[in-house]
Amino acid sequence: MRYISTRGQAPELSFEEAMLTGLARDGGLYLPAEIPVMSQDEIAALAGLPYEEIAFRVMWPYVNESFAEDEFKAIIARAYDGFGHDGRAPLKQLNENHFLLELFHGPTLAFKDFAMQLIGQLFQEALKRRGDRVTIVGATSGDTGSAAIEAFRGLDAVDVFILFPHGRVSEVQRRQMTTPADSNVHALAVDGDFDDCQAALKDMFNDFEFRDGVKLAGVNSINFARVLAQIVYYFSAAVSLGAPHRKVSFTVPTGNFGDIFAGYLAKRMGLPIDRLVVATNQNDILHRCLSGEGYFKGDTVPSISPSMDIQVSSNFERALYFAYGEDGGAVAQLMDELKNGGFNVSQGAMEALRESFDSGRVSEDETLATIKHTLTRSAELVCPHTAVGIKVAEEHRSADVPMITLATAHPAKFPATVEKASGEHPPLPSRMSDLYERPERVTRIANDLGALEDHIRRHIAE
């Protein structure tokens, strides 16, 4: 499989090259040149298999030029070994035909572990083979950073620097980033919001001298390997509810459009997905856009679902690429307009988006009420992001198609909000109950590209 840029001006790469590169040199995002399709029989045969086996069958066509079959199977086994649940991504029933897909049983209690643990193993294998080392820089609204640090800590071919918005992540999220003692881990608290962190990261990738000098690699959700790992649980969940013989819908609490874009690829691969529903908090650029109001940046407003406090949704570019008929030039032009505030989506592209996607927005009060309601009615304590999903899912579900809402984080990652809403304190799983006692290590830093690049240059291992 070859990988092409959404803006059409960067060289085609292999999976391994696209993974190690992250952002394409024309500023675009990598995508497979064609989407592999699974037959209905192949999908039916996934029912009842272990998660790791489903993962192998779904991802194999995307990576088979870069890894040997046994090598890739071993990578998958190592990636999910540290999860606290044998099912990896178990389903729970909320009511007649609404289900929760629990994606928070990984080492940092959020769905990002599914992709990040896999990427850590893929990087290790690829770099070992090449005798190379890289500097990973990531921007996080909270969960990506801790997941990246857990995935890369202690690997000698990698330094990992994580930029997070100072004061805007939860205490559990912060401690997960600042307490690992490994010398290749560097947590940076930036004076700015998540969009500032993400913009600084993009600027570093566009500074080719810096990028080549430190061998910069990205593991943000722009990295296609992240999206790839997330396709798997759409398959595992759908087949356990009767796919391909029965359609299912998904509701996905979304900020960067990464997780839900994986659902779109699953659908294009042949999984019978009826609707893909985007659920946003008050930072609602995606909901506004899918409602026909164009894609215009607003100011990011901090919310109780902070991992979705995003006003520029980086993976949406991939959806636009398909909505605009795989026209890289058109996407490049839209992204130019975005620099000046935003753009209107053409009528044809809107129709293409609406074929797959619906959307909804949830207020802060509704999020709290949904946490309470879900505990009372279904005996489940859910995190605020998951609550955003549940609320939108209830508005969009139909009687005859099961709805699956992605439960993106464990409630114990956001204990203050969950307790305020429900009156119950969500305990951390016992394997991480000493988190509040471990010493923290973090550098506070200005939202300034020069300062950030300088810090990184001075702190990478020789």
Ligand X SMILES: *Cc1c(COP(=O)(O)O)cnc(C)c1O
Contact status: 221 vs ligand X (CB under 6 A): yes
Fill in the per-residue mask, 375 to 404: x = in contact with ligand X (CB under 6 A), - = not in contact: ----------x-------------------
Contact segment (CB under 6 A) with ligand X among 34-42, 125-133, 176-184, 253-261 equals: 253-261
Q: Which is nearer to ligand X, 124 or 282 (CB)?
A: 282
Contact segment (CB under 6 A) with ligand X among 251-259, 350-358, 374-382, 419-427 equals: 251-259
Contact status: 287 vs ligand X (CB under 6 A): no
Q: Which is nearer to ligand X, 193 or 259 (CB)?
A: 259
**Nearest-CA neighbor of 52 among 237, 226, 232?**
232
Contact status: 407 vs ligand X (CB under 6 A): no
**Nearest-CA neighbor of 145 among 179, 122, 121?**
179
Do residues 168 and 223 lie in contact, with contact meaning Cβ atoms separated by under 8 Å?
Answer: no
**Nearest-CA neighbor of 178 among 167, 168, 190, 189?**
189
Q: Which residues contact 347 (CB under 8 A, 6 or more apart)?
A: none
267 is catalytic: no
Contact status: 417 vs ligand X (CB under 6 A): no
Of residues 73, 112, 339, 372, which has the active-site annotation? 112
The CB-of-146 to ligand X minimum distance in angstroms stands at: 9
8: left (phi over 0), alpha (psi -120 to 50) or beta: left
The CB-of-172 to ligand X minimum distance in angstroms stands at: 11
3-state secondary structure 421-459: HHCCCCCCCHHHCCHHHCCCCCEEECCCHHHHHHHHHHH
Contact status: 409 vs ligand X (CB under 6 A): yes
The Cα–Cα gap between 189 and 139 comes to 10
The Cα–Cα gap between 39 and 5 comes to 27
| Site size toward ligand X, by CB under 6 A | 16
Do residues 443 and 189 lie in contact, with contact meaning Cβ atoms separated by under 8 Å?
Answer: yes
Q: Which residues contact 4 (CB under 8 A, 6 or more apart)?
A: 10, 12, 30, 31, 32, 33, 328
The CB-of-315 to ligand X minimum distance in angstroms stands at: 7
Contact status: 421 vs ligand X (CB under 6 A): no
Neighbour tally for 434: CB within 10 Å: 10
The CB-of-244 to ligand X minimum distance in angstroms stands at: 25
Contact segment (CB under 6 A) with ligand X among 28-36, 252-260, 263-271, 447-455 equals: 252-260
Contact status: 256 vs ligand X (CB under 6 A): yes
The Cα–Cα gap between 275 and 240 comes to 18
Contact status: 408 vs ligand X (CB under 6 A): yes
In the list 23, 24, 110, 412, the residue contacting ligand X (rule: CB under 6 A) is 110
In the list 143, 150, 284, 453, the residue contacting ligand X (rule: CB under 6 A) is 143
The CB-of-130 to ligand X minimum distance in angstroms stands at: 29
The CB-of-273 to ligand X minimum distance in angstroms stands at: 17
E-state strands within 205-263: 216-217, 248-253
Contact status: 278 vs ligand X (CB under 6 A): no
On the question of a cis peptide bond just before residue 244, with omega within 30 degrees of 0, the verdict is: yes
Contact status: 118 vs ligand X (CB under 6 A): no
In the list 254, 280, 367, 422, the residue contacting ligand X (rule: CB under 6 A) is 254
In the list 16, 195, 259, 380, the residue contacting ligand X (rule: CB under 6 A) is 259
In the list 29, 148, 237, 308, the residue contacting ligand X (rule: CB under 6 A) is 308
Neighbour order of strands in the sheet with 134-139? 216-217, 134-139, 158-165, 185-190, 443-445
292: left (phi over 0), alpha (psi -120 to 50) or beta: left
Q: Which is nearer to ligand X, 125 or 143 (CB)?
A: 143
Q: Which is nearer to ligand X, 259 or 358 (CB)?
A: 259
Contact status: 257 vs ligand X (CB under 6 A): yes
The CB-of-313 to ligand X minimum distance in angstroms stands at: 7
The Cα–Cα gap between 285 and 71 comes to 41
Contact status: 176 vs ligand X (CB under 6 A): no
The CB-of-89 to ligand X minimum distance in angstroms stands at: 14
In the list 88, 112, 361, 391, the residue contacting ligand X (rule: CB under 6 A) is 112
CA atoms within 13 A on the CB side of 50: 10
Contact status: 282 vs ligand X (CB under 6 A): no
Do residues 308 and 285 lie in contact, with contact meaning Cβ atoms separated by under 8 Å?
Answer: no
| Residues that bind ligand X in the complex, under the rule CB under 6 A | 110, 112, 143, 221, 253-259, 307-308, 385, 408-409
- Just list the catalytic residues: 112
